[in-house]
Amino acid sequence: MTFVPAVSRRHFIAGSLAAMGGLTLGFHVPLPGRAAAEETAPEINAWVVVKPDETVIIRIARSEMGQGTLTGLAQLVAEELECDWARVTTEYPTPAANLARNRVWGSFSTGGSRGIRESHEYVRKGGATARAMLVAAAAAEWKVAPAECTVAKGVISHGASGRSTTYGKVTAAAAQMAPPADVTLKDPKDWTIAGKPLPRLDTADKLTGKQVYGIDLQQPGMLNAAIKACPVFGGKIRSFDASAITAMPGVRKVVQVDEATVAVVADTWWRAKTALDALPITWDDGPNKDLTSAAIADMLAQGLEAQEAFIGNENGDAHKALAGPGRQVTATYAYPYQNHATMEPMNATAVWTAEKCEVWVPTQNGEGSLAAAAEAAGLPAQQCDIHKIHLGGGFGRRGAFQDYVRQAVLIAKELPGIPVKLIWSREEDMLHGAYHPTTQCKLTGVLDEQNNLTALHMRISGQSILAAVRPDGMQNGKDPVVFQGLLATGPENEFGYSIDNLLVDHAMRNPPVPPGFWRGVNLNQNALYVECFMDELAHAAGQDPLAFRRKLMAKHPKHLAVLNAVAERIGWDKPAPQGVHRGLAQIMGFASYVAAAAEVSVTDGRLKIHRIVAATDPGHAVNPAQIERQVEGSFAYGLSASLYGECVVAQGRMEQENFDTYEVMRMADMPPVETIVLPSGGFWGGVGEPTIAVAAPAVLNALFAATGKRIRTMPLKNHSLA
């Protein structure tokens, strides 16, 4: 059994005023991001360092947050380099180094399932170029033509003369060679390292406690900061009484970080948090103090009927078709706010002087962290740097949003030369998220006399992420990202159905709650809306949901292929086991085609998900084992959201402050997942996010088959299945 103490979260505060004589034992951990290898070996190029002992260091610009990109990108480089995979290690270059070298490593941004699909070509070229330079160095020493040399696992051979050498032996000479003007990349069908289900490179230290996360960082003389911002969105600090806590043990400084935020710096984080909890603060709740989720829902409901809307996809004349003959089917769906809830709360460690600012941070976007640090530091970016650390979860919270970096630097600025580690409490993390946006969707379809779908209007109403976060990405006021999975054409998000009269439009309604990119982003609710409604239409037409979809998918063979794959594997054409019912869903997102089939039963009002079958066509599969893990994890994330995920706004703030009220999926809820990876080649799709979107509709469609209940408002926990 696990002993779970029954204590309230406030249990320790009462004793916090007791004197604590504390001593933080300093201990050193190697800091990630330092290119230690350069001390012993020069780089071959920006991507590859070979040490004389044959260790191959591959530089990885994208962040590792569990999604496996670190291993996948290293496989792509190693494939072209033809080194010994057993000797591969990795390191992160720093954003300042990227800046100083004219962005030689390209983008550091790690989101949108782009880590591999948008950098595969230049990282492979990096590996191929390094291979050419290493071979050229050996060939020059032997005075033979490089083309006469072969490479296997880092051993260079010249067959004609019987000579051979190793990468480690020629690394110094190779570093001096001119890089070839161009290199030819391997055909993926010839891959021997990439494309294989290799184990991750970063597992061992995660099993023993050795892996250092940002929250674990220790530096000599380091102080710790706890932070609290006004819990009401848009609120500010009216006043606080620092004198009430300055004598508490360990407290060094109380810092007003900005107009809404105050931090306490102490020798340990627990003392900082204890003092912060004791700090008398009066808030000015501001203009949103009466905001509720119900008021937001009303605002969105008005958008469902509004005249003005941005058009995302249009074919034929849906309005005319809706006014004409045929049977109308209408339904309205709604999707709530949700928090990313990374297991590692937000944190950053900063040290500031008038000349330099350095930050150690788990970040999905090192360059974004650098920009935030420089701005807060009041220094040019060239005088700042970011040391990236593996993330304890990202899910979109740690990319576009660098609030914790800004705060850490502003706090450190008050204590020049002293490293300060800022850690958010879980409560702070829950109250100051970048929430999955809330939307509603009214869908109206028209079935003709033969029960063919002749028209579909999909009116989305709700929040735009870009309007709040990246206004430069707007197109004349329209947020194109709102239409993920619903666009007419394009390599990322093509709608998988051909409908004669189609209109997908968006009435933008932006409540004063900060939205963010949340793993899967807008594909999550869009797939839920369209795939549950397709199921509704199929039932209204009296047709099998798979057959109904297939009629509309003839011009979308890749969408259809993954749908057919899950239908076949789950045995759609055969009866389900007694009491078990099935549902289907498909969508395209992040340039991949995904589908899911679910088997569920409901007993005494309780849902049990017996089995999930998922299919993914990402074009190329760089590591099939990691894709399986991403697909499984996507079901945990997507089902967690649809079963439980909800942040409720009341009195202008989120009600949920921790996992006791913000429930997430645990082991007992997790269904078995069978993953089918179907790389059809010719394109590069992402795998970290798309499958999330089909999790909920597949299960909800199966739930309808089991109960006749159509759940249209998330999450499921708010509905009775009895």
Partner 1 sequence: MARLTINGTTRDIDVDPDTPLLWALREQAGLTGTKYGCGIAQCGSCTVHVDGVATRSCSMPVSAFTPEQQIVTIEGLSPDGSHPVQRAWLALDVPQCGYCQAGMIMAAAALIAQNPKPSDADIDAEMTNICRCGTYNRVRAAIKLAASGETPASNG
Q: Interaction with partner 1 in 398-437: which residues (CB under 8 A)?
A: 423, 425-426
* 400 DSSP assignment: S
Which range, of 36-44, 88-96, 213-221, 488-496, touches partner 1 by CB under 8 A?
Answer: 213-221
Plot region of 488 (φ>0 → left; ψ -120 to 50 → alpha; else → beta): alpha
Least CB distance to partner 1 at residue 22 (A)? 6
Q: Which is nearer to partner 1, 20 or 487 (CB)?
A: 20
Least CB distance to partner 1 at residue 398 (A)? 11
Instruction: State the binding string over 234-263 for partner 1 (x if CB under 8 A, else -).
Output: ---------------x--------------
Least CB distance to partner 1 at residue 179 (A)? 34
Q: Is 113 in the site for partner 1 (CB under 8 A)?
A: no
Residues 571-600 that bind partner 1 (CB under 8 A): none
Nearest to 201 by CA among 378, 386, 68, 38: 68
Which range, of 23-31, 286-294, 492-500, 593-601, touches partner 1 by CB under 8 A?
Answer: 23-31
Is the C-alpha dihedral spanning 168, 172, 173, 176 positive or negative? positive
Q: Read off the tokens for 218.
A: 């220790």
**Any residues with CB less than 8 A from the CB of 310 and at least 6 apart, and which?**
477, 478, 479, 482, 505, 506, 507, 508
10 Å CB burial of residue 133 (0-12, 13-18, 19+) is buried
Q: Which of 270, 544, 683, 707 binds partner 1 (CB under 8 A)?
A: 270
The Cα–Cα gap between 266 and 693 comes to 43
Which range, of 34-42, 251-259, 308-316, 670-678, touches partner 1 by CB under 8 A?
Answer: 670-678
Q: Is the distance from CB of 654 to CB of 648 less than 8 angstroms?
A: yes
Q: Is 66 in the site for partner 1 (CB under 8 A)?
A: yes
Is the C-alpha dihedral spanning 389, 391, 392, 396 positive or negative? positive
Q: Read off the tokens for 61.
A: 């610009």
Q: How many residues does the chain have?
A: 722
The Cα–Cα gap between 562 and 616 comes to 6
Residues 466-485 that bind partner 1 (CB under 8 A): none
How many residues bind partner 1 (CB under 8 A)? The answer is 83
Q: Which is nearer to partner 1, 667 or 722 (CB)?
A: 667
Q: Is 632 in the site for partner 1 (CB under 8 A)?
A: yes
Q: Which is nearer to partner 1, 124 or 200 (CB)?
A: 200
The Cα–Cα gap between 634 and 67 comes to 10
Tell the residue number behind the tokens 């340039």, with chain if given.
591
Least CB distance to partner 1 at residue 337 (A)? 17
The Cα–Cα gap between 277 and 266 comes to 13
Q: Which of 19, 147, 178, 181 binds partner 1 (CB under 8 A)?
A: 19
Which range, of 113-121, 122-130, 204-212, 370-378, touches partner 1 by CB under 8 A?
Answer: 204-212
Q: Read off the tokens for 83.
A: 């080194």
Q: Which of 218, 315, 510, 707 binds partner 1 (CB under 8 A)?
A: 218
Q: Is the distance from CB of 226 to CB of 423 less than 8 angstroms?
A: yes
Q: Which of 629, 709, 710, 719 binds partner 1 (CB under 8 A)?
A: 629
Q: Read off the tokens for 107.
A: 């983008």
Least CB distance to partner 1 at residue 228 (A)? 14
Q: Is 220 in the site for partner 1 (CB under 8 A)?
A: no
Which range, of 49-57, 206-214, 231-239, 435-443, touches partner 1 by CB under 8 A?
Answer: 206-214
Q: Is 342 in the site for partner 1 (CB under 8 A)?
A: yes
Which range, of 538-546, 552-560, 663-671, 714-722, touches partner 1 by CB under 8 A?
Answer: 663-671
Q: Is 219 in the site for partner 1 (CB under 8 A)?
A: no
The Cα–Cα gap between 445 and 696 comes to 21
Q: Which of 9, 238, 319, 555 binds partner 1 (CB under 8 A)?
A: 9
Where helices occur in 143-197 by DSSP H, the ranges are 167-176
Q: Which is nearer to partner 1, 212 or 331 (CB)?
A: 212
Q: Which is nearer to partner 1, 23 or 147 (CB)?
A: 23
Q: Is the distance from CB of 331 to CB of 536 less than 8 angstroms?
A: yes
Least CB distance to partner 1 at residue 13 (A)? 9
Q: What is the CA radius of gyration of the chain?
A: 28
Instruction: State the binding string over 24-43 for partner 1 (x if CB under 8 A, else -).
Output: xx-x----------------
The Cα–Cα gap between 679 and 222 comes to 49
CA distances in angstroms from 712 to 458, 516, 529, listed in the order given: 14, 23, 8
Tell the residue number behind the tokens 């999909």, with chain if given.
458
CA distances in angstroms from 565 to 232, 389, 552, 585, 610, listed in the order given: 48, 39, 17, 12, 19
Q: Which is nearer to partner 1, 503 or 664 (CB)?
A: 664
Q: Is 611 in the site for partner 1 (CB under 8 A)?
A: no
Which range, of 22-30, 138-146, 372-380, 598-606, touches partner 1 by CB under 8 A?
Answer: 22-30
